[in-house]
Structure 1
Protein backbone atom coordinates (compact mmCIF):
# COMPACT_ATOMS: atom_id res chain seq x y z
CA UNK A 1 0.00 0.00 0.00
CA UNK A 2 1.11 3.56 -0.63
CA UNK A 3 1.82 5.90 2.28
CA UNK A 4 -1.16 8.03 1.23
CA UNK A 5 -3.52 5.06 1.39
CA UNK A 6 -2.16 4.09 4.81
CA UNK A 7 -2.77 7.64 6.03
CA UNK A 8 -6.31 7.63 4.66
CA UNK A 9 -7.07 4.34 6.40
CA UNK A 10 -5.60 5.64 9.67
CA UNK A 11 -7.73 8.80 9.50
CA UNK A 12 -10.87 6.81 8.81
CA UNK A 13 -9.98 4.55 11.76
CA UNK A 14 -9.55 7.65 13.94
CA UNK A 15 -12.97 9.00 12.96
CA UNK A 16 -14.68 5.66 13.60
CA UNK A 17 -12.91 5.14 16.92
CA UNK A 18 -14.12 8.57 18.07
CA UNK A 19 -17.76 7.56 17.65
CA UNK A 20 -17.48 4.00 18.99
CA UNK A 21 -15.34 4.81 22.03
CA UNK A 22 -17.30 7.93 22.98
CA UNK A 23 -20.70 6.21 22.80
CA UNK A 24 -19.40 3.11 24.61
CA UNK A 25 -18.03 5.29 27.45
CA UNK A 26 -14.54 3.91 26.78
CA UNK A 27 -13.01 7.11 28.11
CA UNK A 28 -9.36 6.04 28.29
CA UNK A 29 -9.24 5.00 24.64
CA UNK A 30 -11.40 7.97 23.66
CA UNK A 31 -8.75 10.27 25.11
CA UNK A 32 -6.19 8.87 22.64
CA UNK A 33 -7.96 10.33 19.59
CA UNK A 34 -7.34 13.93 20.72
CA UNK A 35 -4.31 16.15 20.31
CA UNK A 36 -3.26 17.59 23.70
CA UNK A 37 -4.83 20.94 22.78
CA UNK A 38 -7.66 19.34 20.79
CA UNK A 39 -11.05 21.01 20.97
CA UNK A 40 -14.66 19.94 20.50
CA UNK A 41 -17.42 22.20 19.23
CA UNK A 42 -20.98 21.00 19.74
CA UNK A 43 -24.40 22.53 20.22
CA UNK A 44 -24.24 22.01 23.99
CA UNK A 45 -20.48 22.18 24.66
CA UNK A 46 -17.41 24.01 23.39
CA UNK A 47 -14.04 23.29 24.95
CA UNK A 48 -11.01 21.03 25.08
CA UNK A 49 -11.02 17.33 24.42
CA UNK A 50 -10.27 16.66 28.11
CA UNK A 51 -13.18 18.89 29.16
CA UNK A 52 -15.43 17.15 26.66
CA UNK A 53 -14.50 13.76 28.10
CA UNK A 54 -15.26 14.99 31.62
CA UNK A 55 -18.70 16.40 30.78
CA UNK A 56 -19.56 13.41 28.58
CA UNK A 57 -18.63 11.04 31.41
CA UNK A 58 -20.81 12.95 33.88
CA UNK A 59 -23.67 12.97 31.40
CA UNK A 60 -23.34 9.25 30.74
CA UNK A 61 -23.43 8.54 34.48
CA UNK A 62 -26.54 10.73 34.81
CA UNK A 63 -28.43 9.00 32.01
CA UNK A 64 -27.83 11.42 29.13
CA UNK A 65 -28.49 9.38 25.98
CA UNK A 66 -26.59 10.64 22.91
CA UNK A 67 -25.43 8.27 20.15
CA UNK A 68 -23.57 8.82 16.88
CA UNK A 69 -23.79 6.93 13.58
CA UNK A 70 -21.33 7.46 10.74
CA UNK A 71 -21.57 7.35 6.96
CA UNK A 72 -19.04 8.05 4.22
CA UNK A 73 -15.86 10.05 4.74
CA UNK A 74 -14.07 12.45 2.40
CA UNK A 75 -10.45 13.21 3.29
CA UNK A 76 -8.27 16.05 2.00
CA UNK A 77 -4.58 15.42 2.73
CA UNK A 78 -1.73 17.94 2.77
CA UNK A 79 1.44 16.48 4.26
CA UNK A 80 0.91 15.97 7.98
CA UNK A 81 -2.41 17.79 7.96
CA UNK A 82 -5.86 16.68 6.88
CA UNK A 83 -9.49 17.72 6.79
CA UNK A 84 -11.95 14.83 7.16
CA UNK A 85 -15.66 15.29 6.47
CA UNK A 86 -17.83 12.40 7.63
CA UNK A 87 -21.55 12.01 7.16
CA UNK A 88 -23.18 11.39 10.53
CA UNK A 89 -26.35 11.41 12.57
CA UNK A 90 -26.66 12.45 16.19
CA UNK A 91 -29.42 10.69 18.12
CA UNK A 92 -30.56 11.92 21.52
CA UNK A 93 -33.40 10.56 23.66
CA UNK A 94 -34.91 12.57 26.50
CA UNK A 95 -38.17 13.85 27.90
CA UNK A 96 -39.59 17.05 26.44
CA UNK A 97 -42.36 18.51 28.60
CA UNK A 98 -43.00 15.07 30.08
CA UNK A 99 -43.03 13.23 26.73
CA UNK A 100 -40.17 10.83 25.94
CA UNK A 101 -38.77 11.84 22.54
CA UNK A 102 -36.06 10.99 20.06
CA UNK A 103 -34.32 13.75 18.12
CA UNK A 104 -32.24 12.82 15.07
CA UNK A 105 -29.88 15.36 13.52
CA UNK A 106 -28.11 14.66 10.23
CA UNK A 107 -24.93 16.43 9.18
CA UNK A 108 -21.18 16.09 8.89
CA UNK A 109 -18.25 16.00 11.26
CA UNK A 110 -15.67 18.45 9.93
CA UNK A 111 -12.36 17.47 11.51
CA UNK A 112 -9.04 19.31 11.55
CA UNK A 113 -6.50 16.50 11.94
CA UNK A 114 -2.72 16.44 12.25
CA UNK A 115 -0.11 13.67 12.16
CA UNK A 116 2.26 13.86 15.13
CA UNK A 117 4.99 11.33 15.85
CA UNK A 118 3.41 9.04 13.28
CA UNK A 119 -0.11 9.21 14.73
CA UNK A 120 -3.14 11.13 13.40
CA UNK A 121 -4.97 13.16 16.08
CA UNK A 122 -8.05 15.39 16.19
CA UNK A 123 -7.09 19.04 16.68
CA UNK A 124 -10.62 20.37 16.22
CA UNK A 125 -13.99 18.74 15.59
CA UNK A 126 -16.66 21.10 14.25
CA UNK A 127 -19.96 19.45 13.34
CA UNK A 128 -22.05 20.82 10.48
CA UNK A 129 -25.76 20.49 11.25
CA UNK A 130 -27.88 19.98 8.11
CA UNK A 131 -31.37 18.87 9.17
CA UNK A 132 -33.16 17.33 12.13
CA UNK A 133 -36.48 16.10 13.47
CA UNK A 134 -38.07 15.28 16.81
CA UNK A 135 -40.55 12.44 17.41
CA UNK A 136 -42.29 11.06 20.50
CA UNK A 137 -41.12 7.52 21.24
CA UNK A 138 -44.79 6.63 21.69
CA UNK A 139 -46.43 7.66 18.39
CA UNK A 140 -49.74 8.15 20.20
CA UNK A 141 -48.28 10.74 22.59
CA UNK A 142 -49.18 14.39 22.09
CA UNK A 143 -46.41 16.98 22.10
CA UNK A 144 -46.90 20.69 21.49
CA UNK A 145 -43.69 22.61 20.88
CA UNK A 146 -43.05 26.21 21.87
CA UNK A 147 -42.76 27.77 18.40
CA UNK A 148 -40.89 30.83 19.67
CA UNK A 149 -38.23 28.70 21.36
CA UNK A 150 -37.95 26.37 18.36
CA UNK A 151 -37.39 29.21 15.90
CA UNK A 152 -34.68 30.72 18.08
CA UNK A 153 -32.24 28.25 16.51
CA UNK A 154 -31.03 27.56 12.93
CA UNK A 155 -33.12 25.19 10.85
CA UNK A 156 -30.36 22.57 10.71
CA UNK A 157 -30.50 21.72 14.41
CA UNK A 158 -33.47 23.53 15.91
CA UNK A 159 -35.18 20.40 17.25
CA UNK A 160 -31.94 19.14 18.80
CA UNK A 161 -31.40 22.58 20.32
CA UNK A 162 -35.00 22.63 21.57
CA UNK A 163 -34.60 19.32 23.40
CA UNK A 164 -31.21 20.28 24.82
CA UNK A 165 -32.48 23.68 25.97
CA UNK A 166 -35.37 21.97 27.74
CA UNK A 167 -32.77 19.80 29.51
CA UNK A 168 -31.01 22.92 30.77
CA UNK A 169 -28.11 23.12 28.32
CA UNK A 170 -26.93 26.50 27.02
CA UNK A 171 -27.08 25.80 23.27
CA UNK A 172 -24.83 27.71 20.85
CA UNK A 173 -27.10 29.53 18.38
CA UNK A 174 -24.72 29.99 15.43
CA UNK A 175 -23.32 26.60 14.47
CA UNK A 176 -22.65 25.94 10.77
CA UNK A 177 -25.38 24.41 8.64
CA UNK A 178 -25.69 23.20 5.08
CA UNK A 179 -25.40 26.77 3.72
CA UNK A 180 -24.65 30.19 5.14
CA UNK A 181 -21.86 32.41 6.39
CA UNK A 182 -20.83 30.04 9.21
CA UNK A 183 -20.18 27.05 6.98
CA UNK A 184 -18.48 29.23 4.35
CA UNK A 185 -16.09 30.52 7.02
CA UNK A 186 -15.48 26.94 8.19
CA UNK A 187 -14.53 25.83 4.68
CA UNK A 188 -12.07 28.73 4.46
CA UNK A 189 -10.56 27.75 7.81
CA UNK A 190 -10.17 24.22 6.44
CA UNK A 191 -8.40 25.46 3.33
CA UNK A 192 -6.11 27.61 5.48
CA UNK A 193 -5.35 24.62 7.73
CA UNK A 194 -4.36 22.51 4.74
CA UNK A 195 -2.12 25.33 3.47
CA UNK A 196 -0.17 25.30 6.75
CA UNK A 197 -1.68 28.32 8.48
CA UNK A 198 -2.43 28.30 12.23
CA UNK A 199 -5.89 27.17 13.28
CA UNK A 200 -8.18 30.21 13.25
CA UNK A 201 -10.97 29.00 15.50
Structure 2
Protein backbone atom coordinates (compact mmCIF):
# COMPACT_ATOMS: atom_id res chain seq x y z
CA UNK A 1 0.00 0.00 0.00
CA UNK A 2 1.24 3.50 -0.70
CA UNK A 3 1.34 6.11 2.04
CA UNK A 4 -1.36 8.25 0.37
CA UNK A 5 -3.68 5.25 0.18
CA UNK A 6 -2.97 4.53 3.84
CA UNK A 7 -3.68 8.14 4.88
CA UNK A 8 -6.98 8.13 3.03
CA UNK A 9 -8.09 4.93 4.76
CA UNK A 10 -9.16 5.88 8.27
CA UNK A 11 -8.70 2.27 9.38
CA UNK A 12 -4.92 2.63 9.70
CA UNK A 13 -3.52 3.61 13.09
CA UNK A 14 -0.79 6.13 13.71
CA UNK A 15 1.48 3.17 14.56
CA UNK A 16 0.81 1.58 11.15
CA UNK A 17 1.51 4.85 9.36
CA UNK A 18 4.76 5.32 11.28
CA UNK A 19 5.80 1.72 10.47
CA UNK A 20 5.20 2.44 6.79
CA UNK A 21 7.41 5.55 6.95
CA UNK A 22 10.13 3.64 8.83
CA UNK A 23 10.02 0.92 6.16
CA UNK A 24 10.26 3.53 3.39
CA UNK A 25 13.35 5.09 4.96
CA UNK A 26 15.02 1.70 5.33
CA UNK A 27 14.24 0.82 1.70
CA UNK A 28 15.61 4.17 0.51
CA UNK A 29 18.83 3.45 2.43
CA UNK A 30 19.10 0.14 0.54
CA UNK A 31 19.03 2.04 -2.75
CA UNK A 32 21.81 4.35 -1.61
CA UNK A 33 23.95 1.43 -0.34
CA UNK A 34 23.69 -0.20 -3.77
CA UNK A 35 25.30 2.87 -5.35
CA UNK A 36 27.90 3.09 -2.58
CA UNK A 37 28.84 -0.52 -3.26
CA UNK A 38 29.75 0.55 -6.78
CA UNK A 39 31.31 3.90 -5.96
CA UNK A 40 33.37 3.17 -2.85
CA UNK A 41 35.26 0.45 -4.69
CA UNK A 42 36.37 2.01 -7.94
CA UNK A 43 40.03 1.72 -6.95
CA UNK A 44 40.13 -1.94 -7.95
CA UNK A 45 39.67 -3.56 -4.54
CA UNK A 46 36.47 -5.18 -5.88
CA UNK A 47 34.86 -5.36 -2.41
CA UNK A 48 31.46 -4.27 -3.73
CA UNK A 49 29.86 -6.98 -1.65
CA UNK A 50 30.73 -5.10 1.56
CA UNK A 51 27.68 -2.94 0.86
CA UNK A 52 25.70 -5.31 -1.36
CA UNK A 53 25.49 -8.02 1.30
CA UNK A 54 23.38 -5.53 3.29
CA UNK A 55 21.25 -4.68 0.22
CA UNK A 56 20.40 -8.03 -1.37
CA UNK A 57 18.97 -11.21 0.14
CA UNK A 58 21.59 -14.00 -0.08
CA UNK A 59 19.62 -15.78 -2.82
CA UNK A 60 18.68 -12.58 -4.70
CA UNK A 61 18.78 -12.50 -8.47
CA UNK A 62 19.15 -9.62 -10.89
CA UNK A 63 18.08 -9.11 -14.49
CA UNK A 64 20.41 -6.62 -16.18
CA UNK A 65 19.97 -8.22 -19.59
CA UNK A 66 18.82 -4.90 -21.06
CA UNK A 67 22.41 -3.67 -20.57
CA UNK A 68 24.43 -6.67 -21.61
CA UNK A 69 22.53 -9.52 -23.17
CA UNK A 70 21.46 -12.98 -22.12
CA UNK A 71 24.41 -13.58 -19.74
CA UNK A 72 22.85 -10.98 -17.40
CA UNK A 73 19.32 -12.44 -17.36
CA UNK A 74 18.15 -13.54 -13.92
CA UNK A 75 21.57 -14.24 -12.42
CA UNK A 76 22.62 -14.36 -8.74
CA UNK A 77 23.53 -10.84 -7.63
CA UNK A 78 27.02 -12.00 -6.61
CA UNK A 79 27.69 -13.05 -10.22
CA UNK A 80 26.94 -9.49 -11.34
CA UNK A 81 30.07 -8.31 -9.51
CA UNK A 82 32.23 -10.67 -11.56
CA UNK A 83 30.50 -9.73 -14.82
CA UNK A 84 31.17 -6.06 -14.13
CA UNK A 85 34.49 -6.10 -12.28
CA UNK A 86 36.45 -8.93 -13.92
CA UNK A 87 39.53 -7.84 -15.91
CA UNK A 88 37.49 -8.17 -19.12
CA UNK A 89 34.17 -7.22 -17.47
CA UNK A 90 31.73 -4.55 -18.53
CA UNK A 91 33.40 -1.95 -16.27
CA UNK A 92 36.98 -2.85 -17.19
CA UNK A 93 37.41 0.18 -19.49
CA UNK A 94 36.15 2.64 -16.90
CA UNK A 95 38.38 4.99 -14.93
CA UNK A 96 35.80 6.65 -12.68
CA UNK A 97 32.07 6.43 -12.05
CA UNK A 98 29.27 7.56 -9.79
CA UNK A 99 25.83 6.06 -9.32
CA UNK A 100 22.97 8.32 -8.25
CA UNK A 101 19.76 6.69 -7.07
CA UNK A 102 16.63 8.83 -6.84
CA UNK A 103 13.76 8.46 -4.45
CA UNK A 104 11.66 5.34 -4.80
CA UNK A 105 7.98 4.79 -5.16
CA UNK A 106 7.23 1.96 -2.77
CA UNK A 107 4.18 -0.25 -2.37
CA UNK A 108 4.34 -2.26 0.85
CA UNK A 109 2.19 -5.29 1.56
CA UNK A 110 3.13 -6.73 4.94
CA UNK A 111 6.64 -8.18 4.68
CA UNK A 112 6.87 -7.69 0.91
CA UNK A 113 7.29 -4.57 -1.16
CA UNK A 114 7.85 -3.40 -4.70
CA UNK A 115 10.00 -0.32 -5.32
CA UNK A 116 10.69 1.58 -8.51
CA UNK A 117 13.75 3.82 -8.27
CA UNK A 118 15.13 6.28 -10.81
CA UNK A 119 18.85 6.19 -11.45
CA UNK A 120 21.48 8.28 -13.18
CA UNK A 121 24.83 6.55 -13.61
CA UNK A 122 27.87 8.41 -14.87
CA UNK A 123 31.09 6.81 -16.11
CA UNK A 124 34.44 8.11 -17.34
CA UNK A 125 36.51 5.89 -19.59
CA UNK A 126 39.48 5.90 -21.88
CA UNK A 127 40.23 3.81 -24.95
CA UNK A 128 43.64 4.18 -26.59
CA UNK A 129 44.10 7.70 -25.23
CA UNK A 130 40.63 8.84 -26.26
CA UNK A 131 38.60 9.90 -23.23
CA UNK A 132 34.85 9.39 -23.17
CA UNK A 133 31.89 9.61 -20.84
CA UNK A 134 28.92 7.31 -20.60
CA UNK A 135 25.63 8.31 -19.00
CA UNK A 136 22.84 5.87 -18.28
CA UNK A 137 19.38 6.76 -17.00
CA UNK A 138 16.57 4.46 -16.06
CA UNK A 139 14.87 2.61 -13.25
CA UNK A 140 15.48 -0.27 -10.91
CA UNK A 141 12.36 -2.31 -10.24
CA UNK A 142 12.85 -4.26 -7.04
CA UNK A 143 10.90 -6.93 -5.21
CA UNK A 144 11.85 -6.65 -1.56
CA UNK A 145 11.28 -8.79 1.51
CA UNK A 146 11.47 -7.94 5.19
CA UNK A 147 13.98 -10.30 6.81
CA UNK A 148 15.24 -10.65 10.37
CA UNK A 149 18.16 -8.37 9.41
CA UNK A 150 15.84 -5.83 7.72
CA UNK A 151 14.55 -5.17 4.21
CA UNK A 152 16.47 -6.87 1.39
CA UNK A 153 16.11 -6.94 -2.36
CA UNK A 154 15.00 -10.41 -3.50
CA UNK A 155 14.91 -9.58 -7.23
CA UNK A 156 16.02 -6.54 -9.23
CA UNK A 157 15.32 -5.66 -12.85
CA UNK A 158 17.22 -2.89 -14.62
CA UNK A 159 15.27 -0.73 -17.06
CA UNK A 160 17.21 1.73 -19.22
CA UNK A 161 15.48 4.87 -20.51
CA UNK A 162 18.51 6.05 -22.45
CA UNK A 163 22.24 5.64 -22.51
CA UNK A 164 24.77 7.72 -24.40
CA UNK A 165 28.52 7.84 -24.83
CA UNK A 166 30.34 11.00 -25.86
CA UNK A 167 33.95 12.11 -26.19
CA UNK A 168 35.52 14.28 -23.50
CA UNK A 169 36.87 17.69 -24.44
Q: TM-score, normalised by structure 2?
A: 0.70
Unaligned stretches of 5+ in structure 1?
Answer: 139-201
Q: 2:135 and 2:85 mapped to 1: Cα distance?
A: 21
Q: Offset of 1:96 from its aligned partner? A: 5.8
SS of 1:15's partner is helix
Q: Does 1:86 align with 2:117?
A: yes
Q: Offset of 1:66 from its aligned partner? A: 4.3
Work out which structure has the larger RCO, using CA pairs closer than 8 Å and 6 or more positions apart in sequence. Answer: 2
Q: Does 1:34 align with 2:56?
A: yes
Task: Give per-residue Cα distances to partners, 1:132-180, cap 9 Å, x unaligned.
Answer: 3222112xxxxxxxxxxxxxxxxxxxxxxxxxxxxxxxxxxxxxxxxxx
Out of 11, 14, 17, the residue aligned to residue 30 of structure 2 is: 14
Within-5 A mapping of 1:146-185: none
| Contact 1:31 1:53 (8 Å CA) reproduced | no
Q: Does 1:101 align with 2:123?
A: no
Q: Offset of 1:12 from its aligned partner? A: 0.6
Task: Give per-residue Cα distances to partners, 1:12-56, cap 9 Å, x unaligned.
Answer: 111111111222124323222111211122213342111123334
Cα gap change, 1:133 to 1:54, in 2 (>3 Å): closer
Cα gap change, 1:48 to 1:74, in 2 (>3 Å): same
Unaligned stretches of 5+ in structure 2?
Answer: 1-14, 42-47
| Contact 1:71 1:87 (8 Å CA) reproduced | yes
Q: 1:84 and 1:62 mapped to 2: Cα distance?
A: 30
- Runs of 4+ aligned residues of structure 1 deviating over 6 Å after TM superposition are none
Q: Offset of 1:70 from its aligned partner? A: 1.7
Q: 2:38 and 2:164 mapped to 1: Cα distance?
A: 23
Q: Offset of 1:4 from its aligned partner? A: 1.1
Q: Does 1:24 align with 2:40?
A: yes
Cα gap change, 1:62 to 1:131, in 2 (>3 Å): closer
Q: TM-score, normalised by structure 1?
A: 0.60
SS of 1:87's partner is strand
Aligned to 1:199: none
| Contact 2:138 2:158 (8 Å CA) reproduced | yes
